[in-house]
């Protein structure tokens, strides 16, 4: 397994260095580094209760990412998934604790409890006012004597940080933190285990399995389940969280945590599933975000907290660290209606001998060329140019009696709509764009005579160039269309335009490279002497129209 690291022994310290460098002067680290890895607020003045938490690395942005105004005063870091030392915890306490005291927020793991606990006792022996709150929000193992501390710990950080910033005394800060810690419930689920930098990957979860109730240190989950749609997995999680909440029917704050390896779009799908399956009122949603990760684990955890007005205020108060997401109120907003202009315009059929004859000629020509154009395209592409044009021509020919033939602008709009529906590939969309632009140009014109049609054709080609990205000389149908349009705009006869289209199409056989379409992937040796099929089709159409005059 490859990782973006230098030496595995330096991963944690180098990550902390990066956090300090990007902390905009608001973060500092204690001396004694790297043996003592403690990040503190650089602006801390000890005038309020300090909030200290921490644990092993590998859970980023927890815990360093939450050091700042309104959250943690200091984060104590261990190596990856390893509790920080007693000396490191004590150093943090001594650095940030003033007369108002210090609250330690500790996740319920043996190493964290012991090391933070002993450090607290040493600090108290020095005369400091230090209190501890243990967070055990994991519900994975029913009736567990020591549930683990998971991402629900972040709710505790937020409420404690809010109370401390508000000037509450240590006793009140601790009571608020304990209230949150006792009410928060969390449950995790994962599709893969995590990989520790510098160590081989473990693959204990089978391709048709998921783990439910895993921790944040790569340890196995409480049970394995059959892999299935996230809606089914979310239903299972929601039911277990509901049971764990018991009779507390208050609205919930919901924290949706990416454990490190879930793509944002999958987290969004999971969030939708969870919100649909939770049968309780959700007042606030935090996430989906990477908040307390387990390195690169492809999993997520859900934390719920019943809230009242005071807790909502504490959870939504602004903080300095950017890693903390703002709480959002979920909303069921009715969709806005589509614009009436999206309704496909219906134009009354009308007759026009000249226009009908021209369309019949175009359709007949393209249908007759199907096999020839497919064979030509097979030399440089996927062999379907003739079929694509012929399919559109047959559909249009069938529809002639329903077209507004006497209204040029409406006629172009109707044809463009049909092309976008029945003609496949990029050529269908491009021609639809071009014909639609012709209709818009004709609609603004006072007349629909030959000069107006010539100007409309040039406008349609300009739009094709704009959206398609090709120009004359790029070995496309534009090599026939552009010369023909220019001839018409110069007042030349249709026969002369057809000659210009033919010369343009023939030139494509001498072009050594293509800069658009599938032919752009074909080597020069395959292109030499082969006319572009789209250009050949357009030249044939102009020749057929010229023969009508």
Torsions phi, psi of 18, nearest 5?
-65, -40
Contact 479, 507 (CB under 8 A): yes
- Cα separation, 250 vs 308, in Å, equals 7
Q: Map tokens 């945590």 to a residue.
A: 257
Strand-strand pairing, 50-57 and 130-135: unpaired
Instruction: Spell out the SS3 assignment of 373-405.
Output: HHHHHHCCCCCCHHHHHHHHHHHHHHCHHHCEC
Cβ atoms within 10 Å, residue 51:
31
Q: Which of 143, 217, 355, 448 is catalytic?
A: 217
Q: Of 282, 218, 235, which is closest to residue 58 (Cα–Cα)?
A: 218
Here the contacts of 411-414 (C-beta below 8 Å, separation 24 or greater) are 411/347, 411/355, 411/439, 412/436, 412/438, 412/439, 412/442, 412/456, 413/345, 413/347, 413/439, 414/345, 414/347
Contact 210, 191 (CB under 8 A): yes
Contact 478, 486 (CB under 8 A): no
- Cα separation, 275 vs 330, in Å, equals 9
Q: For residue 222, what are the CA distances in angstroms to 147, 181, 273?
A: 12, 21, 22
Q: Of 213, 217, 226, which is closest to residue 142 (Cα–Cα)?
A: 213
- Cα separation, 89 vs 123, in Å, equals 10
3-state secondary structure of 202: coil
217 is catalytic: yes
Q: Which two tokens stand for residue 120?
A: 């607290």
Catalytic residues: 217
């Amino acid at each position: 397994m490859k990782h973006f690291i230098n030496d595995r022994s330096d991963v944690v310290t180098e990550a902390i260095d990066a956090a300090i460098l990007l902390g905009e002067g608001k973060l500092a680290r204690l001396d004694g580094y790297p043996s003592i890895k403690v990040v503190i607020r650089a602006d801390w003045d000890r005038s309020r209760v300090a909030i200290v938490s921490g644990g092993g690395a590998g859970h980023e942005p927890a815990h360093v990412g939450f050091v700042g105004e309104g959250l943690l005063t200091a984060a104590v870091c261990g190596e990856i998934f390893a509790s920080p030392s007693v000396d490191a915890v004590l150093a943090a306490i001594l650095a940030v604790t003033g007369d108002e005291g210090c609250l330690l927020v500790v996740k319920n793991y043996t190493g964290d409890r012991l090391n933070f606990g002993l450090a607290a006792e040493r600090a108290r022996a020095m005369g400091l006012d230090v209190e501890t709150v243990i967070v055990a929000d994991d519900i994975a193992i029913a009736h567990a004597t020591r549930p683990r501390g998971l991402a629900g710990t972040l709710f505790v950080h937020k409420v404690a940080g809010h109370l401390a910033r508000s000037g509450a005394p240590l006793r009140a800060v601790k009571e608020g933190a304990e209230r949150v810690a006792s009410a928060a419930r969390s449950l995790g689920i994962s599709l893969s285990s995590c990989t520790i930098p510098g160590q081989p990957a473990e693959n204990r979860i089978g391709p048709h399995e998921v783990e439910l109730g895993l921790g944040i240190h790569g340890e196995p989950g409480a049970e394995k389940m059959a892999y299935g749609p996230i809606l089914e997995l979310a239903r299972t999680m929601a039911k277990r969280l509901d049971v764990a909440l018991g009779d507390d029917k208050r609205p919930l704050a919901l924290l949706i945590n990416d454990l490190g390896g879930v793509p944002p779009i999958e987290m969004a799908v999971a969030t939708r599933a969870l919100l649909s399956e939770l049968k309780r009122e959700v007042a606030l949603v935090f996430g989906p975000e990477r908040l307390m990760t387990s390195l690169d684990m492809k999993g997520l955890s859900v934390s719920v907290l019943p809230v009242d007005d005071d807790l909502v205020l504490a959870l939504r108060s602004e903080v300095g660290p950017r890693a903390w997401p703002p709480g959002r109120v979920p909303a069921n907003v009715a969709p806005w209606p589509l614009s009436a202009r999206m309704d496909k315009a219906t134009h009354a059929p009308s007759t026009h001998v000249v226009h009908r004859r021209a369309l019949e000629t175009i359709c007949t020509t393209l249908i007759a060329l199907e096999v020839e154009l497919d064979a030509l395209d097979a030399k440089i592409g996927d062999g379907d140019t003739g079929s694509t044009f012929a399919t559109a021509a047959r559909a249009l020919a069938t529809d002639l009696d329903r077209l507004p033939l006497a209204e040029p602008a409406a006629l172009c709009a109707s044809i463009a709509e049909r092309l976008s529906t029945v003609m496949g590939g990029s050529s269908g969309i491009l021609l639809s764009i071009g014909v639609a632009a012709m209709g818009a140009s004709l609609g603004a014109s006072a007349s629909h005579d030959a000069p107006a049609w010539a100007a409309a054709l040039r406008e349609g080609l300009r739009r094709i160039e704009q959206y398609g990205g090709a120009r004359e000389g790029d070995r496309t149908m534009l090599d026939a269309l552009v010369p023909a349009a220019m001839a018409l705009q110069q007042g030349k006869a249709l026969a002369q335009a057809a000659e210009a289209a033919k010369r343009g199409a023939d030139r494509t056989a001498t072009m050594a490279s293509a800069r658009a379409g599938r032919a752009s992937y074909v080597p020069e040796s395959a292109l030499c002497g082969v006319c572009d099929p789209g250009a050949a089709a357009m030249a044939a159409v102009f020749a057929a129209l010229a023969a009508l005059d």
